């Protein structure tokens, strides 16, 4: 998606350790008009797929998923939680992930009431790198018996293994921008 690639080039910054900061528009400050256009793009890509629900993970996936849901007939958005709360009770699907950006392990929690066997689900997230977060969501989907119709990613780090592994496993991964390489010294970025 050229619009997103241009925006990453314009407002993204590259940090040592292959960190791409896009907090100016994606995951701290949110450009909702951009999210809306991303939703339109995925709606075109997944037009032939029946989508009953969008599943994402807190926190950065939520805003994107909520803007995207409009383009799929206002389907419900469910966001997996990363910590227990007194508001979470009853039966839960729980998996575990390691977050590189937070440098610790998190639970991934979804109430069993919000995933029903046979439902057709679209997974959405802001980033795909090593695929840890997405694999946590997939594990929960498998346990719930829902059908994963596709995976929509805003920015995929194409030089890490997450996207390759998910596609090899048969998932329809649609990343709107795939970073092929980044150079922190030059500040340049190459897309696939």
**Binding residue positions for 5-phospho-alpha-D-ribose 1-diphosphate:** 129-133
Structure tokens belonging to residue 164 = 């390759």
Check binding of 102 to a second copy (CB under 8 A). Answer: yes
For the bound state, the minimum distance from the C-beta of residue 22 to a second copy, rounded and expressed in Å, comes to 9
Write down the residue that tokens 């946590």 correspond to: 136
Q: Which of 175, 170, 188, 122 is nearest to 149 (CA)?
A: 122
Check binding of 30 to a second copy (CB under 8 A). Answer: yes
Structure tokens belonging to residue 143 = 């346990």
Across 59-139, the runs of DSSP E, i.e. the strands, are 77-80, 92-99, 104-111, 120-128
Determine the 3-state secondary structure of 152 from DSSP. Answer: strand
Check binding of 27 to a second copy (CB under 8 A). Answer: yes
Check binding of 59 to a second copy (CB under 8 A). Answer: yes
Contacts to a second copy by CB under 8 A: 15, 17, 19, 21, 23-24, 27-33, 35-36, 58-59, 62-63, 65-67, 69-70, 74, 76-79, 81, 83-89, 100-103, 110-111, 113-114
């Amino acid at each position: 998606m050229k619009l997103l690639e241009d925006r990453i080039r314009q407002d993204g910054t590259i940090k040592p350790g292959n960190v791409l900061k896009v907090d100016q528009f994606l995951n701290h400050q949110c450009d909702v008009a951009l999210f809306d256009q991303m939703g339109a793009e995925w709606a075109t890509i997944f037009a032939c797929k029946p989508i009953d629900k969008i599943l994402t993970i807190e926190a950065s996936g939520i805003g994107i998923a909520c803007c995207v849901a409009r383009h799929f007939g206002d389907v419900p958005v469910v966001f997996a939680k990363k910590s227990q709360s007194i508001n979470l009770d009853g039966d839960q699907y729980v998996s575990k992930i390691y977050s590189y950006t937070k440098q610790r392990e998190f639970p991934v929690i979804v109430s069993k009431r919000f995933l029903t066997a046979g439902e057709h689900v679209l997974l959405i997230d802001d980033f795909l790198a090593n695929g840890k977060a997405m694999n946590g969501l997939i594990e929960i989907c498998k346990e719930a018996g829902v059908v994963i119709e596709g995976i929509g990613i805003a920015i995929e780090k194409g030089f890490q293994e997450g996207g390759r592994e998910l596609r090899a496993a048969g998932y329809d991964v649609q990343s709107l921008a795939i970073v092929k390489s980044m150079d922190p010294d030059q500040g340049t970025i190459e897309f696939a």
